[in-house]
Structure 1
Amino acid sequence: MSLPDDLLAQLSAANHIAVLTGAGMSAESGVPTFRDVQDGLWAKYDPMTLATEEAFAEEPDLVWAWYLRRAQLIRQVQPNAGHRALAELAEFKQVSVITQNVDDLHERAGSEVLSHVHGGLFDYRCFDCAKPWSGELEIPQEIPERVSPPKCACGGWIRPGIVWFGEMLPPRAFEDAVDACSTCDLMLVVGTSGIVQPAGSLPFAALERGTPVIEVNPEESRLTDYVTHWWQGTAAEVLPQLVRLAR
C-alpha cells in the first residue's frame, strides 16, 4: 500500500515528525506483553496486584524479582526493522519519539526518545527519596521467586522507574509529548490501540491543528476512524517503506 499523493507530499516536506509507539512496536521484536511475563514461578500471581506501590512496599523482594524477569526477557530480544527505520528517519528529519513502551528498544536502535510516557523499566530510582539510581543491574540467569532490591544511599529500596497502577504519569514526560504533537508537521501512530489514556489522546493534539496523522497498524484501532490515513501493516513492514518515501 502507498500513500495518497497529497499525504506523500506532506510527508516529504515535513521537517518535524512526532511518533507515538505502543505495544505492537515491541511485540514484533518478541517483547512479551505485560501478562506474558506470568510464566513459571510467577504464573500464580496477578500482574495487576504486583505492579503497585502497595505491593512493593509490602513485598519488595517479590516485586523486584518479577521485574527482573521482565528485564531479562527484554534483554533477550533486539530492535526490529521498525525501530531501526525511526532511527534512520532522524538522520534527515527532526523526529520526536514518544513511546508507551517501558523497554529500551528505541534507544538500542539508535533513537533519542523524547518521552517514555509510562516510564522506563531501566530508569531506576529510590522508592523513598525518588533519587535516580545508576548502579549496575544484576540479572541472574536463573531468577528465584524473591530477590532483594538494591539499596539507595538513603536506605530506601530501589524500584523500577515505570508507572505503576494508581500512579500519575511523569508530568514532564507527558507535557513534552503534548508539546511535540501540538507543534509537529506530521504525526505517526505506530502499534497502539489508542485505548490507554491519556496517551491515547495525543494524536488528537495534532489532528485538532489540522496536522496529518498516519496510523501504522495491522488491525483497526480506536484511532483508525479519526486519523488522516491508516497504513495497514506492522511497524517492521511499513516504517522502512515510509522512510524511503520521506526522503
Structure 2
Amino acid sequence: MNNTCWAANDKTQHLTKTFRVNYTPTMKAFMFLILVYYAIEFLRCGLFVLFVLLRWDFCHQIYTFTAFNEILVLLLTVGVPVVRFTYPGQLCSGDHPIFSFDANQKEYGYWLKLYLMESSKPEYYEKPLSQMSDDEKNLYYVRLMEQVRETQRKAKETMEKNAIAKVGIEGALKASREVEERYEKFKSDFGVAINKLAVSLKDTVTSQNVEYTHKPVEVTAIKAAEYLKNCKNIMILTGAGLSAASGIPTFRGSNGFWTKSYEGIEDPTEILTLKCFDQNPSIAWQWHYDFIDLMKTCKPNNGHQAIYELQKFSKNYPKKLNTLLVTQNIDNFHTVTIQNNNQAKKIDKTEGTSNFAFTEDVLEVHGNVLYMRCYKNCCNDFYLSPEPPIDPEERRSHVPLCQKCESVMKPHCMFFDESYTEELYRSKTVSEYLNDRLDGLIVIGTALQTSLANQIVQKTLAKLEVPVVEINPEPCVKNGFGVIVKESSLTSLPTIVKQLISLKSKQK
C-alpha cells in the first residue's frame, strides 16, 4: 500500500488525488467477514445497502448531490445498516451531518467505520493554522479556495434561477392585467346590454306574466289621495320631472340636458359609461361640471317640500304611515329641502368617510353629483366634487385624483353600464322594502327608462291590489292598478299630500 499521501510535486493538486489503495490478504479477509455479517442482516431486515467509498474525490462528488443525501438519510432512519470503508480523518467524513458518528448515531442509525491505513491520516487538519507547516497551509488554502469557488458557483446558479423566476413572475402579472382588462370590458359591454334588454322587455314581461284585476284610471289630485288613505307603507319614487319645475331640464326629450355634445360625442349612453371613462375621464367630468353649474342656479320647488311634509308626518305618526323616499335624481334637492327645514338627523358627515355621500331619509339610487370617490376603489371614502373650473381649457382637462392612491376620481353618479349595489346605490334596501312592506306607490316625473325604477313599478303592479299613483303629464303606467294624475307635480303633489295627511290624521 502506498503510504506517501502528500508528495512535494502535488502541492498544487487536490490533497486527495494521491491516495492509492492495495488490499492485503488480511484486509480482504476482514472485509469478507463484514460482508458475511451484513448478509445475515439482509436476511433479517429484508434490505442491505453497502457503500464502499475509497477515494475522497468520488466521495465528495457523490455527497454533494441532494438526492443522494435524502436517500441515505431515509435508509439510516428506517434502520437499514450501511457500511462505509474510509480512512481515519478522511475529509468526506465531516462534509455532512449524517457522517458524524458521535453526533448522529441515535438519530440516523449507525455507521461502521473500517480504518484501513492508519499512516495515511492527514493530521494537520486537527492543527491550528499557526502550527501548520508551509505544505500543510498550502493544502489547507487549496481546499479553502475550492470551497469559496463552490459557494460562488452555487450563488451564481441561485441568481440565474431568480432571474428566470423574475421573468416568469413579470409575465404572469402582465397576463393577469390583460385578463383583468378584458374582464372589465366584458362587464361594461354586458352591463349595457342587460340594461337595454330590461327596458325593452318591460311591457312584454308585464303583459305576458300578469293578469291584472284593474285598469289604469285618470283622476284629480284630491281623488288620488283617496286611493292611498288605507296604505301604511308608501314608497315615493321621483325622477327628473320633479326637478324640471326648478329649472333643471329633463334628461330626455328635445329640450333635455342629454342633447349637449362633449368632444364630439352626443349620445349620453356613450358619454356616461365606464368604457368611455376608462378611455377619457375628462369627458364625463366636463358633463358633471356643467350639471353642477346648472344645479347652482336652481333650487328645490313645492313638490320637494310636499314630499318632505309627508315624510315629516310619517315620522310623527309612525303607526299611521311609513314612507321611503327613492330618487333617481342626482341634484341633491331632496337633501337640501330636509336641511332647509332643519330636520336632518345628526349623522357623521365628515368628508373622507364611507357615509359622507348619504342622507338617511333619502335613497339616491343613481348617486349624487356633489360627491366623488376613487375609481380604483382603494377605499370606500367619499369626498366633495371639485368646484367647476371657470377657464374653458382647464374645464376640459381637469380630472381630480385620489389623495391616497393618485388614481382618477369618479363622480358618485351611476353610469349606464354600471350595476346597482347596496354599498353605492342602496339597491338592496329598496328591494327589501318593495318586496316585504310596500302597499302603496307614488311615482313622480319618471319615464321608467332605468331598470330599477321600472322594476319598482312593475313589481308593485304585479301585487294587483296595490295602487300606483303616477303624477306625470306623459304617464308611463299602461296596465294594472294605475291611478294617473296628468298634472304638473309642482301643483298636484302638494294637493295630494295635503289631502292624504288630512285623511290619515282622522284615522285612529
Question: Is the TM-score greater than 0.5?
Answer: yes
The answer to whether 1:214 aligns with 2:434 is no
**Which residue does the alignment assign to 1:108?**
336
Separation (CA, whole Å) in 1 of partners of 2:284 and 2:221: 46
- Summarize the alignment of residues 52-131 of structure 1 with structure 2, pairs less than 5 Å apart: 52-93=273-314, 94-110=322-338, 113-129=361-377, 131=380
From 161, 170, 189, give the equivalent of 2:421.
Answer: 170
With normalisation by structure 1, the TM-score equals 0.86
**Which residue does the alignment assign to 1:16?**
233
**Which residue does the alignment assign to 2:249?**
32
CA root-mean-square deviation: 2.5
Deviations 1:135-189 (A, max 9, x none): 4632234553221223231221111111112211224522222222331232101
Deviations 1:197-246 (A, max 9, x none): 2321202333333222111111222x143343111112111110011111
Identical residues among aligned pairs (%):
26
Higher mean Cα deviation, 49-58 or 79-88? 49-58
- Summarize the alignment of residues 162-201 of structure 1 with structure 2, pairs less than 5 Å apart: 162-171=413-422, 173-182=426-435, 183-201=437-455
Deviation at 1:90, TM superposition (A): 0.8
Are 1:126 and 1:159, in contact at CA under 8 Å, matched by a contact in 2? yes
Deviation at 1:89, TM superposition (A): 0.8
Which protein has the bigger helix share? 2
Are 1:66 and 1:145, in contact at CA under 8 Å, matched by a contact in 2? no
Deviation at 1:71, TM superposition (A): 1.6
Counterpart of 2:323, as a letter, is: V
Deviation at 1:13, TM superposition (A): 4.0
Separation (CA, whole Å) in 2 of partners of 1:213 and 1:116: 20
Are 2:468 and 2:483, in contact at CA under 8 Å, matched by a contact in 1? yes
Are 1:188 and 1:215, in contact at CA under 8 Å, matched by a contact in 2? yes
Higher mean Cα deviation, 98-107 or 49-58? 49-58
Higher relative contact order (CA 8 A, sep 6+): 1
Distance 1:26 1:43, change over 3 A: farther
Which is greater in Rg?
Answer: 2
Deviations 1:36-88 (A, max 9, x none): 2654x837332333212222222223332221111221222111111110001
Separation (CA, whole Å) in 2 of partners of 1:121 and 1:85: 23
Distance 1:224 1:110, change over 3 A: farther
From 404, 419, 423, give the equivalent of 1:153.
Answer: 404
**Which residue does the alignment assign to 1:228?**
482
Are 2:371 and 2:385, in contact at CA under 8 Å, matched by a contact in 1? no
Q: Secondary structure at the match of 1:90?
A: helix
Counterpart of 2:417, as a letter, is: G
Are 1:106 and 1:113, in contact at CA under 8 Å, matched by a contact in 2? no
From 234, 258, 262, give the equivalent of 1:42.
Answer: 262
Separation (CA, whole Å) in 1 of partners of 2:222 and 2:481: 13
Separation (CA, whole Å) in 2 of partners of 1:8 and 1:83: 17
**Which residue does the alignment assign to 1:138?**
387
Distance 1:224 1:24, change over 3 A: farther
Separation (CA, whole Å) in 2 of partners of 1:219 and 1:123: 32
With normalisation by structure 2, the TM-score equals 0.44
Separation (CA, whole Å) in 2 of partners of 1:16 and 1:37: 34
Deviations 1:15-44 (A, max 9, x none): 3321111121122212134452654x8373
Are 2:263 and 2:283, in contact at CA under 8 Å, matched by a contact in 1? no
Q: Secondary structure at the match of 1:198?
A: helix
Separation (CA, whole Å) in 2 of partners of 1:203 and 1:154: 41
- Structure 1: segments with no counterpart, 5+ residues: none
Counterpart of 1:95, as a letter, is: T
Distance 1:122 1:54, change over 3 A: same
Deviation at 1:9, TM superposition (A): 4.5
Deviation at 1:8, TM superposition (A): 4.0
Deviation at 1:127, TM superposition (A): 0.5
Distance 1:31 1:43, change over 3 A: farther
From 468, 493, 502, give the equivalent of 1:239.
Answer: 493
Separation (CA, whole Å) in 1 of partners of 2:250 and 2:471: 19
Are 2:221 and 2:492, in contact at CA under 8 Å, matched by a contact in 1? no
